[in-house]
Chains A and B, each alone.
Chain A
Amino acid sequence: MKNNILQIKNLSKSYYTKNGEIKAIENISLEINEGDFIAVVGSSGCGKSTLLSIIAALEEKSAGEIIFNKKDFVIGYMLQDDALFDWLTIKDNALLGLEIKHLKNSKNIEYVDQLLKTYDLDNFKLKYPKELSGGMKQRVSLIRTLAIQPDILLLDEPFSALDYQTRLAVSEDVYKIIKKENKTVIMVTHDLAEAISLADKVVVLSKRPSKIKTIYNMKFPNNLTPILKRQTKEFNMYYEQIWKDLDVVV
């Protein structure tokens, strides 16, 4: 039995604007276990980013509960845009989270150094973001998130800024890094193939106000990487099912 680390109970969220109330999320409940890789899919504007923002406490919830299994639960939020700071070196960018949290000690710096080395950024430590390719920047952004040793990673469309080829390669990279570092992940995407090939569990949200429509548990032959998974018959089967479920009007 896996260790439950995060529980979302009956979560709802409404935004209030001049033009009235927008009900973004309605009554979402979800359990996240240690080591899970959960993908959340849903149509554009249904409330996926809102869900992550609430978990990360960047946005207040309207109702419901979010329960962490410990008091100093650390959340790593990786945004769609790499959001690297142009005026900082790659290493300083990677250390940004630690610096904000006043955790920039030699042990943590060493950890970041080691991450940069493991993920082929050692030679770029003293360079600036504009000298890196899109895929490399995304890796730096992930390392910046990993540096604070989060208990859970929240990824909001982490690859959407990349072109298709790079996107496949980078998602493969990120997947390996996450598995190697043994992290728990909630990833939001509207790319079905990405969700199916990366996640163990795909949560399908309905249109706004979003509720959970279905949860799929992915079962693939053992130890396939995302790109290999895309070539299996299971992949096609899941794709078809979830596609129907999403109820996309073309």
Chain B
Amino acid sequence: MSNEAKAFLKKEKRFNLLVHITQIFMIVLILALWEILSRYGIISKFIFSSPSLILETIKSLFLEGTLFNHIFTTLFETIIAFVLGILLGLIIAVILYSFKFIARVFEPFLTLINSLPKVALGPILIIWIGANTKSIIAMALLINLIVSIISIYTGFLNTDYNKIKLLKSFGADKIQILKKLIIPSSYQTIISSLKLNISMTLIGVIMGEFLVSKAGLGYLIMYGTQVFNLNLVMSGIFLLLIFSYILYKIINLIEKRLIKN
């Protein structure tokens, strides 16, 4: 490696290090400030809580034995809604792609539903499905499914026409074209729709838990608000932050792994 290249790498490394240090410093500063301000009564503990109170609340949730119940409830709902969203999205996109008539009929309705804020349907879901986990999953599906369908279907439509012609010249039938070309060539689109899907699913699940639930991170936040226990609210938000960050990282990892092959 030349000296210039070494110098460049060194500079790059130092820059990255500086960014990381600044980030950590910022977090520590904010947490410390928050802690001190609330400890000395400059801001109200009751309304703003504090880092130490949050940790204490989480600890007591853990000791009560409900902490993991809340986390797993939300995790369970998220996974079910996520997997259903992707599978149904893929199947519906294939149907739309295969039958031009159906696609033409449903396109405007898809756009219509897509533009509707799905939360508005929450109350109806509760009445129709009941105040239970099914409603929460339905809520999440409402939010993630349309987005999945549209992004996967658009990916299908962007398939290179020349390649379709090539397969047809070999006498390929519709199913072969789908299996050998349309789906594999939309692989990238499908994978990146996973990422979009996970954030949509989380919005839906938390929304659903706000509306109906007896457990889960969304429930924790909602319940905390109702009994005006801001420690609980803040703890719920903090746990949700970590929860969604980990999920996002996992999806990212899966994406990298799948795209490499």
Contact = CB atoms under 8 A, between A and B. Distances in A.
Interface stretch (A76-84, A168-176, A195-203): A76-84
Given A85-B184, A87-B185, A96-B180, A56 B163 contact: no
A215 interface: no
B162 A100 contact: no
Contacts of B169: 56, 58, 75-77, 79
Interface in B158-182: 160, 162-163, 165-172, 176, 180-181
Contacts of A148: 170
B160 A83 contact: yes
> Which of A79, A83, A96, A101 has the most chain B CB atoms inside 10 A of its CB?
A83
A76 B167 CA distance: 11
B78 to A, nearest CB: 30
Nearest to A75: B169
B185 A85 contact: yes
A64 interface: no
A148 B169 CA distance: 11
A100 B176 contact: yes
A134 interface: no
Contacts of A209: none
B123 to A, nearest CB: 45
Nearest to B169: A77
A81 B170 contact: no
Majority SS at the chain B contact face: helix
B191 to A, nearest CB: 12
B166 A83 contact: yes
Interface in A27-80: 56, 58, 75-77, 79-80
B163 to A, nearest CB: 5
A79 B184 contact: no
B165 A79 contact: yes
Interface in A79-100: 79-81, 83, 85-87, 96-97, 99-100
A96 B170 CA distance: 9
Nearest to A56: B169
A75 B171 CA distance: 10
A12 to B, nearest CB: 22
Interface in B92-146: none
Given A85-B181, A85-B185, A101 B170 contact: yes
A99 B168 CA distance: 13
B243 interface: no
A58 B184 CA distance: 23
A79 B162 contact: yes
A108 B241 CA distance: 57
B187 interface: yes
Given A85-B185, A87-B184, A101 B163 contact: no
A83 B163 contact: yes
Contacts of B160: 81, 83
A87 B166 contact: no
Interface of A: 56, 58, 75-77, 79-81, 83, 85-87, 96-97, 99-101, 148
11 contacts: A58-B168, A79-B165, A79-B166, A80-B162, A85-B180, A85-B181, A96-B170, A96-B180, A97-B170, A100-B167, A100-B180
